[in-house]
């Protein structure tokens, strides 16, 4: 369990959508879903090796409080912290208590 004081990063959950550009060509869009406080920690050493057993490229662990909105987050969504984008690979309900979610994520460098 992550202490509330460690959730010091303001993140935005976004959901992928489709739209059209000015020429009518399809483009990928991202719509904000929810803004909340989170704890984002890079995986290192043993944590990284353990995470690879779940997903091959997981680079960060993100903790957020469980609520009605975050309960609807899926791996099709992403987390944005400033200019950084994190693709969600797995979502775990910590201890199945509906208090906190642990997201296993991959940081996408240079992604829009």
DSSP string, 67-102: -TTGGG--TTEEEEETTEEEEEEEEEEGGGSSSEEE
Strand partners, 103: 62, 91
In the prediction, which pLDDT does 52 show?
Answer: 54
Give tens-digit pLDDT for 30-82.
999 999 999 999 986 555 555 555 545 778 999 999 999 999 999 999 999 99
- What pLDDT does residue 51 have? 54
**pLDDT score for 91:** 96
Domain limits for position 19? 4-108
pLDDT of residue 56: 54
User: What average pLDDT score do residues 102-111 get?
Assistant: 86
Number of independent structural domains in the chain: 1
pLDDT confidence of residue 16: 94
Three-state DSSP at 15 gives: strand
Q: What is the CATH number of the domain that holds 34?
A: 2.40.10.270
pLDDT in tens, 11-27: 999 999 988 888 989 99
Quote the mean pLDDT of the chain: 87
Are the C-beta atoms of 2 and 8 separated by less than 8 Å? Answer: no
Q: 61 in helix, strand or coil?
A: strand
Token pair of 4, please?
A: 């509330």
Two tokens, residue 38: 């989170």
Task: Using the predicted structure, report yes or no on whether residue 83 has a pLDDT greater than 70.
Answer: yes
């Amino acid at each position: 369990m992550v202490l509330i004081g460690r959730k010091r990063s303001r993140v935005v959950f976004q959901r992928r959508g489709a739209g059209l550009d000015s020429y009518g060509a399809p483009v990928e869009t991202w719509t904000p879903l929810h803004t909340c406080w989170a704890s984002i920690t890079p995986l290192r050493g043993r944590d990284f090796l353990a995470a690879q057993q779940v997903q091959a490229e997981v680079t960060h662990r993100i903790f957020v409080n469980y609520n009605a909105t975050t309960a609807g987050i899926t791996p099709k969504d992403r987390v944005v912290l400033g200019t950084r984008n994190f693709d969600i690979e797995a979502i775990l309900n910590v201890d199945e208590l509906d208090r906190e979610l642990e997201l296993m994520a991959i940081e996408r460098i240079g992604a829009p």
